[in-house]
């Protein structure tokens, strides 16, 4: 009898060209599928909750897969982790209904973007945070971030490579806070477009640097023009933080 399993995992994205499988690059999906296929002695395809980009990390990521193997949940977790590299870990596993899909049943996501705001580099953060020496006014950016909360057309705040016809999304919350030399941007919403979080952070940094003003945000929404918004910040500071079902 074929069973459907929902699995929670985490990974550092530094060594991978994103989650989704590719013909000419190592991805998280390929790596996990190989581990599960080896464990279960059958070809396994996993269905992820998101398509994280090259270098992006995930503290919480869900996928589901089908198997005819009679192995239990504990066996899946420990057997897979023994076959996975140190930068990917499975945490929980549960059998779910046959029609559950990790992506289509997702109700929302939360991302965190981390900036190492210091004049001195850190060897411990080079692949895990974006380095920016220019002073960041986190209180001002926290206020500005609230202008993105609500339902808006984010056409101007996604990559020009975005293939979604509907670019309306709802942002539930967007907070900016400082923890020592780290400035953290925490955003949750119904869904996110290609590069959307990185462009929103980049737009806030443009406000911090005086290249944009807070009152420009509403105008940028109306233009639907990507060139009017801020830069796309690098991927290494981005974490898929939580997934809601």
First vs last Cα of the chain: how many Å apart? 26
Calpha distance 199→221 (Å, rounded): 13
Q: What is the DSSP string of 148-160?
A: G-EEEE-GGGS-T
Q: Which of 53, 87, 105, 161 is catalytic?
A: 53
Calpha distance 105→215 (Å, rounded): 36
Calpha distance 144→156 (Å, rounded): 17
For residue 53, indicate whether it is catalytic: yes
Calpha distance 213→208 (Å, rounded): 9
CB 156 within 8 A of CB 82: no
Calpha distance 204→214 (Å, rounded): 9
The set of catalytic residues is 53
């Amino acid at each position: 009898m074929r069973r459907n399993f929902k699995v929670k995992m985490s990974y550092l994205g530094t060594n991978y060209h994103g989650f989704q499988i590719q013909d000419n690059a190592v991805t998280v999906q390929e790596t996990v599928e190989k581990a599960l296929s080896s464990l279960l002695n059958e070809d396994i395809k996993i269905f992820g909750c998101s398509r994280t980009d090259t270098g992006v990390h995930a503290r919480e990521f869900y996928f589901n897969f089908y198997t005819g193997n009679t192995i239990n949940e504990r066996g899946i977790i420990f057997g897979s982790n023994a076959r996975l590299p140190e930068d990917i870990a499975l945490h929980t596993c549960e059998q779910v209904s046959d029609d559950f899909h990790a992506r289509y049943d997702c109700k929302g996501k939360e991302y965190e973007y981390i900036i190492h705001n210091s004049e001195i580099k850190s060897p411990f953060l080079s692949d895990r945070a974006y380095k920016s020496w220019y002073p960041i006014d986190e209180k001002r950016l926290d206020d500005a971030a609230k202008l993105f909360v609500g339902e808006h057309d984010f056409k101007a705040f996604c990559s020009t490579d975005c293939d979604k016809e509907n670019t309306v999304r709802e942002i539930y919350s967007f907070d900016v806070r400082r923890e020592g030399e780290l400035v953290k941007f925490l955003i949750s919403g119904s869904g996110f477009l290609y590069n959307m979080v990185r462009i929103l952070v980049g737009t806030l940094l443009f406000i911090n640097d005086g290249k944009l003003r807070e009152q420009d945000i509403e105008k940028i929404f109306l233009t639907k023009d990507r060139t009017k918004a801020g830069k796309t910040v690098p991927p290494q500071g981005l974490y898929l933080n939580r997934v809601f079902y």
